[in-house]
C-alpha cells in the first residue's frame, strides 16, 4: 500500500510540474507573438492594406481586446484542444498538425530505435575493451559522425545511395516523398530508411560516448568488484549489474532528443521532402502564419515535457530511491 501511495505522489507531482511548465510556456508564446509586435493586425493584413482593412482584421480576430482577455480566450481554446486557425488558408491548426504528425513520428521513432541500438552497443563494446582496437575504432567513428552536420550526411546519402544508384539502374532508395504505414509498410520503411540513418548516425555518437563513460565508471565501483569476486561471469556483471546503472544519463539524453525530434526534424524533413512538422514550421515562418507557429511551438513543448516525465518514471523504475526524493 505504501508502495502504491509513493508512486501516486510521484506521478502527481511530476504531472503537476509539467502542467505548470506548459502554462508558463503558453503565456510566453502568446505574449511574444500576439502582444509584443507593434501591430499584429497590420502584419496579417499586409503592408498594402488600408487602415479600415486593418481595423476589420483586428475586430474579426479579437486583437483589439485587452491582452489579458485575449490570453484568457487563447487558454480556454487550448484546454478544449483548439489551436486556432491559419491566417494563410483559414484551416484549423490542429488539423494541419494532425496531418503532419505521423510523418515526423515515423522519422523520430525509427531513428530512435537505430540510434539506441548503435549508440549503446558501441558504447558497451568500447567500455568493456578499453584501449583496444575496438575502442579506438568506436572513438574514430564517433568523432567522424559527431563532427558531421545532419544536412551534409543527408546530402551524401542522397548523392551516393539515391542519385548514383539511380544512374546504375537501382531504384531501391527513394529520394523524397512519404508513404503512410497503413498504405504499405514496406514502402513506408523504404522511403524513411535514409532519413532514419541520417538522424540516427549523428545522434548515436552522443549515446556511445555517454554509455562508454558511464559504464567505465560503474565497472570500477566496489560492488562490481564484489560481484566479480563472488564468481559471477563477466557478462552477467556487465549487463545485469553495470549496464542498468550506467543507463541513467542515456535515459535523460533520450528523453530530450526524442521530445525535441517529435517537434519537427526540420533539416532532415526538408532534405528528403518529407511533409512533417518541420516542413510545416518552415512554411509557416515563410508565410508569417502566427497561429500555426504558435501551435507548433506548443506541441513541441508538450512533447518535451511529456518526454521528461517519462524519463523521471524510467528513473524511478531503474532506481526506486528516486521516488522517495
Could you tell me the three cell numbers for 102? 505521423
Shared-domain flag, residues 111 and 75: no
Domain membership flag for residue 298 = yes
Domain membership flag for residue 110 = yes
Q: Is 115 exposed, middle or buried (0-12, 13-18, 19+ CB in 10 A)?
A: buried
pLDDT digits (tens, 9 = 90+) for 175-194: 788 888 889 899 999 999 99
What range defines the domain where residue 239 resides? 93-324
Shared-domain flag, residues 217 and 243: yes
User: Among 16-20, 65-69, 199-203, 287-291, which is the least confidently predicted range?
Assistant: 65-69
Does the structure show a pLDDT above 90 at 118?
A: yes
Shared-domain flag, residues 72 and 189: no
Distance separating the N- and C-terminal Cα atoms of the chain: 18
Domain membership flag for residue 88 = no
Mean of the pLDDT values across residues 74-84? 82
pLDDT at residue number 110 = 92
Strand partners, 158: none
Higher pLDDT, 223 or 25: 25
Shared-domain flag, residues 167 and 286: yes
Does the structure show a pLDDT above 70 at 324?
A: no
Shared-domain flag, residues 111 and 152: yes
Does the structure show a pLDDT above 70 at 109?
A: yes
Measured over the CA atoms of residue 87, residue 88, residue 90 and residue 94, the dihedral's sign is negative
Of the three residues 57, 79, 101, the one that is the final residue of a domain is 79
Of the three residues 30, 57, 79, the one that is the final residue of a domain is 79
Domain membership flag for residue 148 = yes
Domain membership flag for residue 166 = yes
Shared-domain flag, residues 111 and 226: yes
pLDDT digits (tens, 9 = 90+) for 129-161: 888 898 899 989 988 888 888 888 989 999 888
Task: Identify the CATH number of the domain in which residue 162 sits.
Answer: 1.10.3720.10
Shared-domain flag, residues 171 and 316: yes
pLDDT at residue number 39 = 64
Beta strands in the chain (DSSP E): none
Domain membership flag for residue 182 = yes
Shared-domain flag, residues 225 and 271: yes
Shared-domain flag, residues 208 and 257: yes
Measured over the CA atoms of residue 33, residue 293, residue 45 and residue 99, the dihedral's sign is negative
Higher pLDDT, 45 or 68: 68
Does the structure show a pLDDT above 80 at 25?
A: yes
Does the structure show a pLDDT above 60 at 323?
A: no
**Contact (Cβ atoms closer than 8 angstroms) between residue 218 and residue 242:** yes
pLDDT at residue number 200 = 92
Higher pLDDT, 40 or 96: 96
pLDDT at residue number 60 = 66
User: Structural domain tally of the chain?
Assistant: 2
Shared-domain flag, residues 59 and 108: no
Domain membership flag for residue 87 = no
Shared-domain flag, residues 57 and 106: no
pLDDT at residue number 119 = 92
Shared-domain flag, residues 161 and 249: yes
Of the three residues 79, 109, 128, the one that is the final residue of a domain is 79
Higher pLDDT, 51 or 116: 116
How much is the mean pLDDT over the chain? Answer: 82
Amino acid at each position: 500500500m505504501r508502495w502504491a501511495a509513493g508512486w501516486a505522489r510521484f506521478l502527481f507531482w511530476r504531472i503537476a510540474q509539467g502542467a505548470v511548465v506548459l502554462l508558463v510556456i503558453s503565456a510566453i508564446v502568446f505574449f511574444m507573438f500576439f502582444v509584443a509586435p507593434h501591430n499584429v493586425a497590420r502584419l496579417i493584413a499586409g503592408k498594402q492594406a488600408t487602415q479600415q482593412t486593418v481595423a476589420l482584421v483586428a475586430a474579426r480576430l479579437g486583437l483589439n481586446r485587452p491582452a489579458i482577455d485575449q490570453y484568457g480566450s487563447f487558454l480556454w481554446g487550448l484546454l478544449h484542444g483548439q489551436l486556432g486557425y491559419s491566417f494563410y488558408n483559414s484551416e484549423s491548426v490542429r488539423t494541419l498538425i494532425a496531418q503532419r504528425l505521423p510523418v515526423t513520428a515515423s522519422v523520430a521513432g525509427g531513428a530512435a530505435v537505430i540510434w539506441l541500438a548503435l549508440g549503446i552497443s558501441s558504447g558497451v563494446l568500447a567500455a568493456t575493451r578499453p584501449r583496444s582496437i575496438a575502442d579506438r575504432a568506436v572513438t574514430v567513428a564517433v568523432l567522424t559522425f559527431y563532427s558531421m552536420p545532419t544536412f551534409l550526411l543527408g546530402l551524401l546519402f542522397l548523392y551516393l545511395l539515391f542519385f548514383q544508384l539511380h544512374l546504375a539502374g537501382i531504384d531501391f532508395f527513394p529520394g523524397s516523398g512519404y508513404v503512410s504505414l497503413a498504405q504499405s509498410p514496406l514502402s513506408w520503411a523504404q522511403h524513411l530508411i535514409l532519413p532514419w540513418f541520417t538522424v540516427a548516425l549523428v545522434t548515436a555518437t552522443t549515446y556511445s560516448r555517454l554509455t562508454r563513460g558511464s559504464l567505465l565508471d560503474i565497472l570500477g565501483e566496489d560492488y562490481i568488484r564484489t560481484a566479480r569476486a563472488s564468481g559471477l561471469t563477466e557478462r552477467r556483471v556487465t549487463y545485469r549489474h553495470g549496464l542498468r546503472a550506467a543507463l541513467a544519463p542515456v535515459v535523460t539524453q533520450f528523453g530530450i532528443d526524442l521530445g525535441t525530434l517529435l517537434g519537427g526534424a526540420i533539416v532532415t524533413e526538408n532534405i528528403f521532402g518529407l511533409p512533417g512538422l518541420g516542413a510545416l514550421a518552415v512554411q509557416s515562418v515563410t508565410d508569417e502564419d502566427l497561429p500555426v507557429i504558435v501551435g507548433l511551438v506548443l506541441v513541441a513543448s508538450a512533447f518535451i515535457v511529456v518526454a521528461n516525465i517519462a524519463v523521471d518514471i524510467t528513473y524511478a523504475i531503474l532506481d526506486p530511491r528516486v521516488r522517495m526524493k
